[in-house]
Amino acid sequence: MSERVQTWLLGKTTGLQHLVNEKLAKRSGMIGRFFTTFQMGKREYSAHTFHRAFAVVNYFWMQTFHLYGVMRPIGSRFLGLGNGPLNYSALYGFIFVTAMIVARTKFDKGRDQYTFNAQDGVEFWFERYNMMFPPNYLHTRLSAHYIEINNIFFCEMVKKYMVARKEIIADRERSPVEERMTKYITNPNYIYEPLANEAAAIVEMKHKGDF
């Protein structure tokens, strides 16, 4: 603080100075050691640095505002009528600060949307929060009406499946061996080499259904 302020404070606090300096600071024990650090008097070494530090801080603040006022906007080449050069220093600062903000963003479970209806199962939430939920928490109960409809639908689809399966088997039996072995190949360079004819005993067992 300045010399004028220090003199004014010391002149107005004589009673407080006497209490701290003469009564409390000179006591023995913990009280004396504590108030020794609060003894008041005229500064003996040099002027206080508060005003100088405040002047330095004020200088940097004013320089910062001055820089903001004169620096070119980041996209000045693309925005406005100035058509000036790119402000590479501002671009670097903008990208650097943006990267710092993005780096603090936590991308957790980013691929959950690719798991169809995974949130409807208890296993998903157990893995996410590492805790078990009661079975009725997710309301996964099924009605008897839904179970009955699902059973009827399953039976009808099985009937259609059996018809289609028999047609496919019959078509395969009518096809020659080479077509059966090469119908679904994906390698265009595959060369089919037929096996030797089966023995008569094997053919007879196949007709009887024993092979």
Judge if 157 and 173 occupy the same domain.
Answer: yes
**Domains identified in the chain, total number:** 4
Judge if 37 and 89 occupy the same domain.
Answer: no
Judge if 201 and 160 occupy the same domain.
Answer: yes
Judge if 131 and 158 occupy the same domain.
Answer: no
Q: By C-alpha distance, which of 147, 129, 146 is closest to 138? A: 129
Judge if 2 and 62 occupy the same domain.
Answer: yes
Judge if 13 and 32 occupy the same domain.
Answer: yes
Residues 94-131: pLDDT tens digits?
Answer: 888 888 888 777 665 555 555 666 666 677 777 777 76
Q: How far apart, in Å, are the Cα atoms of 48 and each of 20, 40, 52?
A: 22, 15, 8
Judge if 19 and 55 occupy the same domain.
Answer: yes
Judge if 127 and 186 occupy the same domain.
Answer: no
- 152 versus 74: the higher-pLDDT residue is 152
**pLDDT confidence band for 70 (50 / 70 / 90):** low
Judge if 32 and 51 occupy the same domain.
Answer: yes
Burial of 21 (0-12, 13-18, 19+ CB in 10 A): middle
Given a cut of 90, is residue 76 above it in pLDDT?
Answer: no
Q: What is the pLDDT of residue 164?
A: 94
Highest average pLDDT, of 44-53, 58-67, 85-94, comes from: 58-67
Number of Cβ within a 10 Å radius of residue 27: 13
What's the rounded Cα separation, in Å, for the pair 186 and 176? 19
Q: By C-alpha distance, which of 62, 66, 46, 44 is closest to 54? A: 62
Q: What is the pLDDT of residue 185?
A: 85
Residues 144-185: pLDDT tens digits?
Answer: 777 788 889 999 999 999 999 999 989 988 988 888 888 888
Q: What is the pLDDT of residue 48?
A: 61
Domain span at 117: 112-141
**pLDDT confidence band for 10 (50 / 70 / 90):** confident
Given a cut of 70, is residue 25 above it in pLDDT?
Answer: yes
What's the rounded Cα separation, in Å, for the pair 23 and 79? 72
Judge if 148 and 175 occupy the same domain.
Answer: yes
Q: Percent of the chain beyond pLDDT 70?
A: 70
What's the rounded Cα separation, in Å, for the pair 85 and 74? 10
Q: What is the pLDDT of residue 49?
A: 62
Judge if 18 and 49 occupy the same domain.
Answer: yes
pTM score, two decimals? 0.27
Given a cut of 70, is residue 69 above it in pLDDT?
Answer: no
Judge if 61 and 84 occupy the same domain.
Answer: no
What's the rounded Cα separation, in Å, for the pair 211 and 208? 8
